[in-house]
Amino acid sequence: MRTSTISLRRARPADADRIADLFDETWREAYRGIIPGVALERMISQRSSQWWLGAAQRNRPLVVVDTGEAVVGYAVYGPARGRLLRAAGEIDELYIRPDHQGLGLGRRLFRAIRNDLADHGLADAGVWALEENARALSFYAGLGGVEAARSVDRIAGAVLPKIGFRFG
């Protein structure tokens, strides 16, 4: 029998290429048909390895889900970037590679983030999800998120409604 060790850890500069590939795969899967095609391609191309190298060195935590063989998930979070969610902390991004979804890794990553935020005095947290991203809406509602706000993102002329969830 083969066992795997899954670790959640801060991203390192050496992870930049793997996170860029993960971003490309997860965003294509999550947003194809939601974000206009050309805009989605542009957004993906802007998140190169160099961009992720810088992100790993910024003040906002960037954590990865590492199987030892591959980075299969990542999240970015920290103090809330706005007031609309009425939460002290915010999860900016949380993605798990499509072939690793449904294994509990997203829940595990989410709980670890919530614990880290609480350890830093940010007891309540919020997260945004595009209204057309049914998988994300179901994920956050299943974790106990309460709809706290609605807003829109404007991308390439498209108006994309989004829902903000709060976790207290």
Q: What is the DSSP letter of 145?
A: -
Return phi, psi of residue 6, to 5°. -105, 130
Does the pTM of the predicted model rise above 0.85? yes
Q: Return the H-helix or E-strand segment holding 141.
A: helix 134-142
* Dihedral over alpha carbons 123, 121, 64, 31 (to 10 degrees): 50
Q: What's the confidence (pLDDT) of residue 5?
A: 86
Neighbouring residues of 167: CB distance < 8 A, sequence distance ≥ 6: 87, 114, 124, 125, 126, 127, 143, 144, 145, 146
Q: What's the confidence (pLDDT) of residue 105?
A: 97
How many secondary structure helices (H) and strands (E) does the chain include?
A: 5, 7
Sign of CA dihedral 33, 38, 39, 43: positive
Which residues of the chain have a pLDDT value below 70?
A: 1-3
How many CB atoms sit inside 10 A of residue 83's CB?
A: 8
Single-letter code of the amino acid located at 29: E
Q: Taking a C-beta distance cutoff of 8 angstroms, is the pair 165, 140 a contact?
A: yes
Q: What's the confidence (pLDDT) of residue 1?
A: 38
